[in-house]
Structure formats: C-alpha cells, structure tokens
C-alpha cells in the first residue's frame, strides 16, 4: 500500500515508519522541517514539509494514498481542535472507499480497570476526555478505520518512564504512593501492531496495544533508581509537581493483556519489558 503517515519524526511514528516499510509499504510522511524530512528519507520514506492542520494538503495526500496512519498530536491545549480537524478531513476523503485509516488513541480513556479490553466501558480522565467525540466520529463513520490504543509506551529511552528514571545522584520520586499499575507496550512492538492491523482485512473499531506486562509504579521506580531510594508522594504532591491532569492520569490503576491483538492479528510482543529496560536497557545509562 501507499501509506500517508503523520508523526513520522515523533516517538511512536519514528518506529512506525520503518515497520511499515519492512512490511512492503511505501510511505509518504508529513513533517514540519527539512531536517525531519531528511530523517524520513534516510529511513526509506518520502517526505513532504507541511503541517497536519493544513486541510488542503492533508486531503490531497489522503486522496493519493491507500491508507493513512495518524500518530501525530500537538500534545497540548490545541490537540482537540487539530486532531478533530485532521480526522474530519480523512473521514471525508475516505468516505465511500475501501481505504484504511488507523488513528492513535490510548488506554487512558478506559479509566481505572484491572482487565481492559476493547469492550470495556470508557471513563477518561480530564487529560484525554477530548478524545471521546473524535473517536465517536470515527466509530460512527463508514470508513474502514481502527483506533489503536496503546498503554504506556516505552523503549529507546523515551516516553513517560523517564519520570521514574534515576540520575545516579538523587532518590526517585514516585507518582502517588506507587501502588498503581501501568499497562505497557514497547514502542517497537507497538509499531509492529500498526503494520499488522493495516495488513489484515478485519475491521475492528478498537485494538488494545498492551504487551500484558503491568508493573506497579513502585516497581518501575525501583528498577530505575540506580541504587538510590524511591520515595512515595501524596496525590496532591504529584499534582503540584506534574500538573493535576497528567498526575491524575498517571495515578490511575490500569491492567491490560492485549489478547485480541494476539488472537486476531497474530501480534507477538518480543521486546524487553519496561522493568528490564529501566534496570539494564535504554533508561539505565
């Protein structure tokens, strides 16, 4: 397929790009600078310098593509508007066609749960409540669209686990008391799932991307403490330190096992666990 990719220079998208190419797809990525365009070309893709908020460019590229994989997001107060406009543009462009659309979501929309699945009720924290109308529009459309919802993404030294990464000199501050569990997925395993979802003819509204490894925040902190102590925090202390919206999301207890992705798409996560990465892998340096 000819795939239009957003976020190709970002944390998730930079792993999705080589995964798509490895599966035989040609990829055109929208990037925001010449430097990022060079990185895309070096990875084997084609790059267009532009912005995902430019609906004319997005619509043109969508019409030229067989599929769109959307991993970009501003990650700020503009996310709802930018993401909503982008999704509306893709849904309009793909209406009445067999083209594929993969949207990046996240398990936070399911709230606290010890067994998150594709059929779990949704109870998003304030941080991700903006996703709900966008995802509803995707599910209600006639487009062959799937929302891939990863857990806490880790690997290659990036992402939220850095909040619990020791520096070798100071104690590690937990988020809350550290008893809550995070459901996790390595960024490269996640990228492989995007490629598998794109390959299959199934049309699932949601696919949970969780490797089945659900460590507690205390366990993560201890793995990354580099010989120093881990210190619990109060909920209010974490909110003051990280901001209320982010802290409340990180203090949720979430466990998921990704059975649907394994059973229906043949997904097999193989990368090291988050605890292994924290102790001896990409976060240990």
177-208 confidence digits (pLDDT tens): 999 999 999 999 999 999 999 999 999 999 99
What is the model's pLDDT at position 175?
A: 99
Q: Does pLDDT of 13 surpass 90?
A: yes
SS3 state at 130: coil
- Mean pLDDT for 224-233 is 94
- pLDDT, position 167: 86
pLDDT for 285 beyond 80: no
CA distance 78 to 80: 6
Per-residue pLDDT of 73-90, as tens digits, reads 988 889 999 999 999 999
Element (H, E) at 234: none
The mean per-residue pLDDT over the stretch 273-280 comes to 98
Report the share of the chain in percent with pLDDT over 70.
100
**What share of residues in the chain are helix, strand, coil (percent, to 5)?**
40, 20, 40
- The whole-number pLDDT of residue 250 equals 99
Q: Which residue has the higher pLDDT, 285 or 111?
A: 111
Query: 30 - beta bridge partners?
Result: 6, 48
Contact 77, 130 (CB under 8 A): no
Q: Is 81 helix (H, G, I), strand (E, B) or coil?
A: helix
Cα angle: 36, vertex 42, 4; to 5 degrees: 65
- pLDDT over threshold 90, residue 157: yes
Work out the pLDDT band at 9, boundaries 50, 70, 90. very high
Question: Residue 40's pLDDT is what?
Answer: 98
How much is the pLDDT for 169? Answer: 84
Mean pLDDT score of the chain, rounded to an integer? 97
- The pLDDT of 266-270, averaged and rounded, is 98
| 114 backbone φψ class: left, alpha, beta (φ>0; ψ -120 to 50) | alpha
* Percent of the chain whose pLDDT exceeds 90: 95
């Amino acid at each position: 397929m000819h795939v239009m990719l957003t976020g190709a220079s970002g944390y998730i998208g930079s792993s999705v790009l080589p995964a798509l190419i490895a599966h035989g797809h040609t990829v055109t990525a929208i990037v925001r600078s010449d430097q990022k365009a060079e990185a895309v070309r070096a990875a084997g893709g084609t790059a267009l310098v532009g912005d995902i908020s430019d609906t004319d460019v997005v619509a043109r590229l969508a019409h030229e593509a067989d599929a769109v994989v959307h991993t970009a997001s501003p990650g700020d107060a503009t996310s709802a508007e930018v993401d909503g406009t982008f999704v509306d543009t893709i849904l309009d462009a793909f209406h009445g066609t067999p083209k594929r659309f993969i949207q990046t979501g996240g398990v936070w929309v399911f709230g606290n749960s010890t067994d998150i699945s594709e059929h779990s009720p949704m109870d998003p924290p304030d941080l991700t409540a903006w996703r709900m109308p966008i995802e509803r529009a995707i599910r209600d459309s006639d487009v062959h669209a799937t929302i891939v919802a990863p857990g806490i993404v880790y690997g290659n030294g990036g992402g939220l686990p850095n909040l619990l990464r020791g520096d070798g000199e100071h104690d590690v501050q937990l988020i809350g008391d550290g008893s809550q569990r995070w459901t996790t997925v390595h960024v490269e395993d996640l990228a492989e799932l995007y490629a598998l979802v794109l390959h299959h003819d199934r049309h699932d509204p949601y696919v949970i991307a969780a490797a089945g490894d659900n460590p507690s925040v205390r366990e993560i902190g201890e793995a990354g403490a580099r010989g120093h102590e881990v210190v619990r925090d109060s909920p209010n202390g974490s909110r003051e330190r990280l901001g209320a919206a982010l802290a409340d999301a990180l203090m949720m207890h979430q466990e998921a096992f990704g059975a649907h992705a394994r059973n229906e798409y043949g997904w097999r996560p193989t990368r090291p666990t988050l605890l292994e990465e924290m102790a001896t892998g990409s976060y240990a340096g």
